[in-house]
Amino acid sequence: MKTRDKIILASLELFNERGERNVTTNHIAAHLAISPGNLYYHFRNKSDIIYEIFLEYEKLVDFYLDIPRDRPLTLDDLTFYLESVFDGLWSYRFFHRDLEYLLDSDPRLRKDYREFTNRCLAAISQIFEKMSEAGIIEPQPEDLRSAMSLNVWLVITNWMAFLKTAHAADEPASLSLTELKQGIYQVLTLEIPYLTAGYREQVMALREKYRPSLPEPAGTSVGTNQSK
């Protein structure tokens, strides 16, 4: 693998594990057993590394959230979208953690992320629209749909932060993909009142799959179930 790609990969790994704030360029170089000079040959600064990682993340999500225009949505589609989005969040989980700081220190990133958000919101809204076309949820007026989409976005992007902060006091860092996907339970909770009679049971069954196993057993967490 090219050194440049190795740097991106190692940075992502370290950022996810320890948080961007706690990972220096020297750490990254040391982790790869290359010199700082080498790292700076490939990237002008830390921001550039982060920006490259963001571009990958963006590409991934844009790929997943490509809504088919030629056919109605199915419940499988919905499941796929939810699973994919949370997979993406997991793989790039450092990103939302320090989002504000990152955007403040890089105008490019700020601009791109803003557009990215808008695309995501549009995609969510579109999914709602196609779900009502498919008879899964009742149709809703435009402005309610966009407010709902925004709430979905807020729940999705904040779910991980909630998990991390609500975790047992003794285990600061632990978090598993399984737990993260309980966010799907929360997202589907938002849709419950809008479900049509015909699909209600099916969606509720889907939601049930993601229900948190126990009400915060405080210590039973999987532990160091990190990325890899």
Partner DNA sequence: GTATTATTAGAGTATATACTCTAGGCAGTC
Partner DNA sequence: GACTGCCTAGAGTATATACTCTAATAATAC
Which positions lie near DNA, rule CB under 7 A? 2-3, 22, 24-27, 33-38, 40-42, 44-47
Radius of gyration of the chain (CA): 19
Q: How many residues bind a copy of itself (CB under 8 A)?
A: 44
Q: What number of CA atoms fall less than 13 Å from residue 4's CA on the CB side?
A: 6
What is the rounded distance in angstroms from the CA atom of residue 87 to the CA atom of residue 181?
8
Q: Pick one of a copy of itself, DNA, none as the site partner of residue 79 (Cβ within 5 to 8 A by kind).
A: none
Span from 41-49, 59-67, 68-76, 102-110 in contact with a copy of itself (CB under 8 A): 102-110
What distance separates the 2 farthest-apart alpha carbons in the chain?
63
Closest by CA position to 116, among listed 136, 132, 102 = 102
Q: Out of 151, 224, 225, 227, which residue is the one contacting a copy of itself (CB under 8 A)?
A: 151
- Long-range contacts of residues 109-115, Cβ cutoff 8 Å, at least 24 apart: 109/47, 109/50, 109/51, 109/54, 112/54, 112/55, 112/58, 113/54
Closer CB to DNA, 2 or 228, in the complex: 2
Q: Out of 60, 122, 150, 177, which residue is the one contacting a copy of itself (CB under 8 A)?
A: 150
Site for a copy of itself contains 104 (CB under 8 A): yes
86 and 181 Cβ atoms separated by less than 8 Å: yes
Closer CB to a copy of itself, 55 or 168, in the complex: 168
Q: Pick one of DNA, a copy of itself, none as the site partner of residue 167 (Cβ within 5 to 8 A by kind).
A: a copy of itself
Site for a copy of itself contains 165 (CB under 8 A): yes
Span from 58-66, 67-75, 79-87, 164-172 in contact with a copy of itself (CB under 8 A): 164-172
128 and 145 Cβ atoms separated by less than 8 Å: yes
DSSP 8-state class, residue 135: T
- As measured in angstroms, the least distance from the Cβ of 59 to a copy of itself is 19
What is the rounded distance in angstroms from the CA atom of residue 135 to the CA atom of residue 115?
30
Site for a copy of itself contains 19 (CB under 8 A): yes
SS3 of residue 137 by DSSP:
strand
Closer CB to DNA, 33 or 197, in the complex: 33
Binding site for a copy of itself (CB under 8 A): 19, 21, 97-101, 103-104, 107, 110-111, 113-114, 117-118, 144, 147-148, 150-151, 153-155, 157-159, 161-162, 164-169, 172-173, 185-186, 189-190, 192-194
